[in-house]
Structure 1
Amino acid sequence: MHTDEGRTLTRVVQTCSAHPSQWDAWTADGQYLYLRYRHGEGRVEWHPGPDDDAETPESWGEGRSGVLIEWNDGTGGGAISLEDFLAAAGLVLAEGVDEDSR
């Protein structure tokens, strides 16, 4: 995940707009990422694909998932814009990609 393709998102779907802010995202090289911001903490996880139960994803399995990026901005906040989240995480949207909502 250290390539430019691994840091460029080609699709982003917001799954929760506040408390926590979270998105499903896919990179240019096809990797699924779970983006979450809660209590001032941002986290980017990689998984084989989205799962309806993100807290206990049985289908992800050991060794098939991991944490790519974590940070704490010290605010304790629960909502963040996609633009601010991506800037803090070092991720970018591919040209012409818009955020989808569910």
Structure 2
Amino acid sequence: MDDVIVRVVETCVSHPSQWDAWTAGGRYLFLHYRRGFGTVEQHPDSDPDSWTAEAWETGLSRTVKEWNDGTDESTMTLTDFLTAAGLRLAPDADVSRR
């Protein structure tokens, strides 16, 4: 997996913590953390309408990483999420909120 994130958009500023992210290799990743569960999903693009059953069946959409940290928390900083997911933020990454 391409693990360097070059662009991140925070899509929820409350609960749960979630972001749209793009890697240096051009992959789109959906980052989500809720009730102690973190997931990194790869999808064709950031439009949830493209995350179809066919995309999952053909591997265009897939779960890249998931974990349970044993808490019931629903918020996490981007830095902590990326560390837990084994991802790195590029030094010149574009980080914003929707």
TM-score by length of 1: 0.86
- Counting aligned pairs with the same residue, the percent is 52
Whether 1:24 and 2:20 are equivalent positions in the alignment is yes
Which residue among 54, 69, 73 is the counterpart of 1:73? 69
Structure 1 segments unaligned to the other structure (5+ residues): none
| Pairs aligned (count) | 96
Structure 2 segments unaligned to the other structure (5+ residues): none
Task: Give the root-mean-square deviation of aligned CA atoms.
Answer: 1.8
Select the structure that is richer in strand.
2
Residues 17-96 of structure 1 aligned to structure 2 (within 5 Å): 17-52=13-48, 57-58=51-52, 61=55, 62-63=57-58, 64-96=60-92
TM-score by length of 2: 0.89
Aligned structure 1 segments of 4 or more residues deviating by more than 4 angstroms: none
Select the structure that is richer in helix.
2
